[in-house]
Amino acid sequence: MSDPAGSRDGPSGLSRRSVLYAAAATGAAAASGSGVAALLTDTEQVKTRLSAGTLDLDVAVLRPPSWTDGTYTGKLVLHEEQTATFELSVDTNPAFVWLMSPCPTCDDVESKIEVELELTRPGSGTTTLFTGTLDAFREAYGRGGLLSTQALAGSTETWTVTFTWLLLEPLAGDRPGRGRGTGRKAAAPDIGFEFEFRAIQERHLGDPEQFDLGLPACPDCEPECGTSISFVAFCGDGSFEETGLSFETIECGGNYPTLTVTEIPSGVDTVVLKYASYMDVFRYDGEETPFRVTTGGGDSDLGLIATHERESGNEHTADGQPSRYPNDPCSGDNWVKYEFDDDGTVVVEPVEEEDDE
């Protein structure tokens, strides 16, 4: 058997087909406690250096108990840390181990989940391999990430892999999402992680860090562009100077859904974006400029308080919030409002309103 012309060779001169993988532990494999697969080799190319063999990678799920059935689905509870723990071992020769994750889904929820990956090895303590958002983790491990440059010793050693996740922000319910304009379904209360572990015997590799598992690169996430802003209102319970405001709209896919604010008076405490039949209300707590806010709440630097939907006439309502109107977007507070044309430019002079109280 020979490789097609132009195929890349990995370390030790092995082609990518020579060593596809030694063992995969996902789903049923994890549920049964082990994953077993033959080491695939290109016998004509490497017959003098390598013989086909079998590697038994045991993957035991220590917690949560629900994952022992092979369904790696995690609960999402706001500000409540969740943890999954795996125990890895090999029954035969020492092996290098990789962890693989699905590629990013490009859903906003991935940027709202913070994750941490840790590896504990006997005599070496615990090493943090990754800390960041779920989308960044999936990008980093979508083609496989080597757990350690040291091999997992056969039958004499056990590694512990700990994966922790934390939901940082509330998940949005039904309201216009970025780029579709027809509404976005409420986020599910859990998320599938779909881990996969792969191992290759140490004796078959030179430098494991240079070994290519042959997985394709994750595709780039195409930007999802929200609905254009109809107007922005800056609100405050005290007086503030309109001359202290500076901002511009940002184009995306022919729409202007994002406002970048470069100057803002100290008296402002709320920013309201009107788009389609909705008003998004953002809390301003003195964040440094520049900051941005986007219709639908995605890719915004300020916290989204509520999304008001037009119910009847010009009244926009949200549960537990005072009603807002185009001619009173700040529910009685002082405000200044700017309306925008289809090309994202201001079309009228700002309208100011002061609270009589």
pLDDT at 290: 94
Q: Round to whole Å and give the CA distance between 276 and 187.
A: 22
pLDDT at 30: 29
pLDDT at 260: 96
Q: What is the pLDDT of residues 291-330, one digit of tens each?
A: 999 999 888 999 999 999 999 889 999 999 999 999 999 9
The set of residues, in sequence order, having a beta carbon less than 8 Å from that of 220 and lying 6+ positions away, is none
Within a domain: residue 271?
yes
Within a domain: residue 216?
no
Mean pLDDT, the chain, as a whole number? Answer: 78
Within a domain: residue 302?
yes
Within a domain: residue 215?
no
Within a domain: residue 307?
yes
The beta strands (E) that lie in 264-343 are given as: 270-275, 278-283, 291-294, 303-312, 315-318, 321-324, 334-339
pLDDT at 225: 82
Q: Where is average pLDDT lowest: 45-54, 77-86, 171-180?
A: 45-54
Q: Which structural domain, as residue segments, surrounds residue 314?
A: 231-353
User: Is residue 352 very low, low, confident or very high in pLDDT (cuts 50, 70, 90)?
Assistant: low
Do 109 and 54 share a structural domain? yes
Number of independent structural domains in the chain: 2
Q: Round to whole Å and give the CA distance between 3 and 8.
A: 9
User: Is residue 350 very low, low, confident or very high in pLDDT (cuts 50, 70, 90)?
Assistant: low
pLDDT at 224: 73
C-alpha distance from residue 303 to each of 16, 68, 78, 233, 300 (Å): 47, 37, 15, 16, 7
* Model confidence, pTM: 0.52
Do 204 and 260 share a structural domain? no
More confident residue, 282 or 193: 282
For residues 283-287, average pLDDT: 94
For the chain, the C-alpha Rg in angstroms (whole number) is 27
More confident residue, 349 or 290: 290
Examine the pLDDT at 24 and tell me if it is beyond 70. Answer: no
Do 274 and 342 share a structural domain? yes
Do 168 and 56 share a structural domain? yes
Q: Which of 177, 210, 243 is the last residue of a domain?
A: 210
Nearest Cα neighbor of 146 from 100, 193, 90 is 100
**Tokens standing for 189?**
């209360």
More confident residue, 49 or 111: 111
Within a domain: residue 220?
no
For residues 133-142, average pLDDT: 95
Examine the pLDDT at 289 and tell me if it is beyond 80. Answer: yes
Examine the pLDDT at 46 and tell me if it is beyond 50. Answer: no
User: Is residue 172 very low, low, confident or very high in pLDDT (cuts 50, 70, 90)?
Assistant: low
User: Is residue 33 very low, low, confident or very high in pLDDT (cuts 50, 70, 90)?
Assistant: very low
pLDDT at 32: 30
Within a domain: residue 3?
no
Phi-psi region of 109 (alpha: psi -120 to 50; beta: other; left: phi over 0): alpha
Helix runs in the chain, H state only: 28-32, 43-46, 134-141
pLDDT at 187: 42
Do 256 and 151 share a structural domain? no
The set of residues, in sequence order, having a beta carbon less than 8 Å from that of 222 and lying 6+ positions away, is 106
Dihedral over Cα of 86, 89, 94, 95: its sign: negative
User: What φ, ψ does residue 301 adopt, rounded to 5°?
Assistant: -85, -15
Within a domain: residue 33?
yes
Examine the pLDDT at 257 and tell me if it is beyond 80. Answer: yes
The CB density around residue 91, as the number of other CB atoms within 10 Å, is: 13
